Amino acid sequence: MFTTYTLRLIGLLGLYFTNGSQAETTLIKNVTIINEYAELLEQPKNILIIDEIISKIGNFDTQADHIIDGQGKYLIPGLIDSHVHLKGVPGLRVDSVKDQELQRDGAKQIPRSYLYFGFTTVLDLASYSSFVSQWNAQVYAPEALYCTAMSILNGYPIVYSGEAASQLSSPMASYLLYDKNQSDEYPADYPVKEHLPEHLVKKAKKEGAICIKTFYEKGFGVKKNLPVPDLDLIRELKLYASQENMPLFLHANSTDAYQFASQTNVSVLAHGLWHSNGNDIKPLIKDIAHQDISVQLTLTVVEGELDLFDHSFFSSEEAHSAIPSSLINWYKSESGQWFKKILSSNVLNLQNNKQHETMKKKYDHVFQTLRKGVHSLLENNVNLVFGSDTPSGPIYTQFPGLNGFREIQAWARTGVDLKTLFKSLTIRNAELLGVQNRIGAIREGMQADLLLLNENPLVDVQAYNSIQTVFIDGLAIDRESLAAK
Ligand SMILES: [Zn+2]
């Protein structure tokens, strides 16, 4: 979309495209703007959008192709979620892809559901250029940006593709970081040089990635005691990523991983802290704060698993707005509940309401650790950036769009104040990704990715569900036209 943006700037000079077609204009009248400092501008303003660009903000009057009355309403930048996974439809079984219809219904609605809940930019933390270009060719879709994911041999998550030999021929293999501590695991003719940080970072940048993601995860479930990268490797990765102005994301959700992060000075921790070694976390969180490492809380990763056992999940209006009814029906069916059985087989013999209660108790400890972590992050003013990890696993409770909205609510419920939340959803993410001159704020010359809200999001978190109009690249879309139902 950078190219159309540049084109548009050229077009702005004469209000005409280079091909001669006339520019499209939209005027939003008398609207209350919330700026990037999460402050209400005192006087309502008029905003003129020419094609994709916010052309003028002030107390002027002018003709326009479309006029939108903003009286009593709030205008905010489109939301940015910097932790999503765009490929696939959550909760569908890999072996049931034969059910093409569900796959199609889901794939068609997913970009719209992101927009429905106000997300106009999403960052896929593990994608590649051809997929993202295809995604961005859709008109009714948030703009997608992506990171290249780099793991080590036998490490998380590439270990899920099988033995070393299968890993080396898997899709992630071309971006495997060479791990000198496992030198005897590689074939004799392995091209080591092509798997050193410098080479991989430059390759990722050239292909169009804007960031790098790597992992510190010793494993869970059936995969435990996995190898993790050493300090030298990730320090080197950070060095080359910085040279290319690419933030380095680290998958980290334990005190071990946070400790590792503080010694490697990565840019972002892609998860909240939910596995504690029992030590006092305050000194650790202070370190994270001092080094300007940003954190994504991803609260719905844990909540979403628990929500699978909540039989009222599909009764909300939001769920029906985000998820096509064909998928809801399948998710509710015996086969749609497959992942629940993997999470907890014994609890399923209990009555419905008992299941939820029992699982709540089982998850209580993780929630307590997570909440403690959030409070410590807030106390130490760690830079929180909004990332929801949509979806973190094959679970329908993290359906795109809906999950972002649930994550927003979870942040507020866990004690993040509404100003911080607003900035995390907009300007802080834009700054992290280096796109703050284009999106994340409402200023003349910026891309018109905007939300017109009926309520004030600095007063009530439910305001994020009061969207009237979504503007993507200057195109005004009535929210209800994006709903699944
Ligand atoms: Zn993720």
Mean pLDDT of the chain: 93
218 C-alpha to ligand 1 centroid (Å): 16
Residue 18 has pLDDT above 80, yes or no: no
Say how many Å lie between the CA of residue 216 and the centre of ligand 1: 13
Residue 147 resides in a domain: yes
Question: Ligand 1 centre and the CA of 126: distance in Å?
Answer: 8
Residues 6+ apart with CB under 8 A from 120: 78, 79, 80, 142, 143, 439, 449, 450, 451, 470, 471, 472
301 occurs within a structural domain: yes
Q: How many domains, in total, are found in the chain?
A: 2
The CA 393 to ligand 1 mean position distance, Å, reads 8
pLDDT in tens, 356-395: 999 999 999 999 999 999 999 999 999 999 999 999 999 9
157 cis-preceded (ω within 30 degrees of 0): yes
Q: What is the CATH number of the domain that holds 462?
A: 2.30.40.10
Tell me the average pLDDT across 337-346: 84
**Residue 9 pLDDT > 60:** no
Res. 151: pLDDT tops 50: yes
Taking the centre of ligand 1 as the mean of its atom positions, its distance from the CA of residue 215, in whole angstroms, is 10
Mean pLDDT of 84-113: 89
Nearest to 12 by CA among 456, 451, 448: 448
Ligand 1 centroid–CA 89 distance in Å is 14
Residues spanned by the domain of 85: 79-305+355-432
Distance from residue 298's CA to the centre of ligand 1 (Å): 9
327 inside domain:
no
Regarding whether 284 and 362 lie in a shared domain, the answer is yes
Q: Are residues 265 and 179 part of one domain?
A: yes
What pLDDT does residue 13 have? 45
Q: Are 136 and 127 in contact (CB under 8 A)?
A: no
Residue 11: pLDDT above 60?
A: no
Split at pLDDT 50, 70, 90, the class of 7 is: very low
Same domain for 97 and 16: no
Ligand 1 midpoint to CA 82 (Å): 10
Of 432, 457, 474, at which residue does a domain stop? 432
Q: Could you give the CA distance from residue 66 to residue 63 in angstroms, rounded to a whole number?
A: 9
Tell me the CA–centroid distance for residue 35 and ligand 1, in Å: 29
Give the pLDDT confidence of 217-227 residue by residue, as tens digits.
999 888 889 99
pLDDT above 50 (res 194): yes
Could you tell me the distance, in angstroms and rounded to a whole number, from the CA of residue 261 to the centre of ligand 1? 17
Q: Region 189-206: what's the mean pLDDT? A: 98
The pLDDT of residue 98 is 60
What is the pLDDT averaged over residues 280-294? 96
Q: Greater confidence, 3 or 76?
A: 76
User: Domain with 365 in it: what CATH number?
Assistant: 3.20.20.140
pLDDT at 4: 47
One domain, residues 185 and 276: yes
Closest CA to 295 of 352, 379, 225, 360: 379
